[in-house]
Chains A and B, each alone.
Chain A
């Protein structure tokens, strides 16, 4: 073997080694995140009685005096949430047509508050749901602060970004793990044929669902 051949073999070994390290390290780093999203995904897709928290969870009702600031509904709602020391994303701020009360929600994973504020009388009623384990699992999976169906909704709680960064990191980490896994598989010549069948059948099913259904309808 020439020096070039040795260098090539050495490079190939180093690439395999570092791909394996990255695959293992990312898998271990994201282990708890993967379990969380896998289990909460199952709970969202199935409706097992034990995980149905909404009808059975306790509601805590409290009343508070408030100082009502002036401004747009959402701005007033955010100011009131701060006054009431409610932490989370402030959403769905709207005036009740009849009573003119301002209603809004404050949500964070595991806990939700529904606020009805009478700005004229200077009092607010807060209905708290949670904290609860099932609610926490459920809402950690879906907590983004934004909505694809409501373009106007913007994140308004700084800590939401912590969870968004975690979600993004997990998604990118999984994609890198797929890449390193496929690289490691391709290096094993004896496993290529069956591996191609496995990868091909999964890819075929996904392509059929994404494109085949629309093309044939």
Chain B
């Protein structure tokens, strides 16, 4: 009885968590193909750029993250600030602000006291790639500085955790299917051989 109960819950969780996870897996799978071939079907950096310039006095804040958030607040630009590029010799400060499918680059001219905002609608595929790579290993200090990206970071972790659960529960459910054991073992073995061969081919 207890075993049946356990099997029921494993099957139920595998099903419902798998369904919840499906669109996230789809994001990672589709974007992986785009990244692996560096082939954006449309949009990306080729998308047209619209530009506007406004009068702007740069805030006197040294901390880059606080500076970027203050600039965004004053200009009314939501999104994740990628980095703050300060070039004192050129009186220039650049802050790319990103959302999935939309990039707005703020270029502050400290001498002229202006800010030019370049808006580029990079589109659906670029949005997928952006989510795939976030939060990522770069510029740790600036990461998750907008709440949607903080939410995404949690969802990305949850996707991995649920994916690991789905594989573990999948193995358990497969072992319950006596009729699939031999064929399953063959595919598991074939997969392991392919994996080792592929890794050795590129890493050895």
Query: Which positions in A face B, CB cutoff 8 Å?
Result: 21, 24-36, 38, 41-42, 44-45, 47, 108-111, 131, 136, 138, 140, 143-144, 146-149, 151, 153, 159-160, 162-164, 166-168, 170-172, 174-175, 178, 181-182, 185, 191, 194-195, 198-199, 201-203, 205-206, 209-211, 213-214, 217
B152:A45 contact, CB within 8 angstroms: no
In the complex, what's the smallest C-beta–C-beta distance from B203 to chain A, in angstroms?
A: 4
Q: Which residue of B lies closest to A144 (CB)?
A: B36
B44:A148 contact, CB within 8 angstroms: yes
> Inside 8 A of A138's CB, which chain B residues have their CB?
137
In the complex, what's the smallest C-beta–C-beta distance from B200 to chain A, in angstroms?
A: 10
Provide a sorted-by-A list of 9 A–B residue pairs whose CB atoms are within 8 angstroms: A27-B170, A29-B191, A31-B191, A32-B195, A168-B33, A171-B30, A202-B24, A213-B78, A214-B99
Q: B142 an interface residue at 8 Å Cβ cutoff? A: no
In angstroms, Cα B43 to Cα A210, docked, is 14
Query: Which positions in B face A, CB cutoff 8 Å?
Result: 15-30, 32-38, 40, 44-45, 77-79, 99-102, 121, 124, 127-129, 131, 135-137, 140, 148, 151-153, 155-157, 160, 163-164, 167, 170-171, 174, 177, 180, 183-184, 187-188, 190-192, 194-195, 198-199, 201-203
The total number of A-B Cβ pairs within 8 Å is 196
A163:B24 contact, CB within 8 angstroms: no
> Inside 8 A of A201's CB, which chain B residues have their CB?
20
From the candidates A144, A149, A166, A171, name the one contacting B29 in the complex (CB within 8 A). A171
The answer to whether A164 and B19 touch (CB under 8 A), given A34-B163, A175-B26, is no
In angstroms, Cα B185 to Cα A28, docked, is 8
The answer to whether A181 and B29 touch (CB under 8 A), given A31-B191, A148-B40, A214-B99, is no
From the candidates B17, B25, B131, B187, name the one contacting A209 in the complex (CB within 8 A). B131
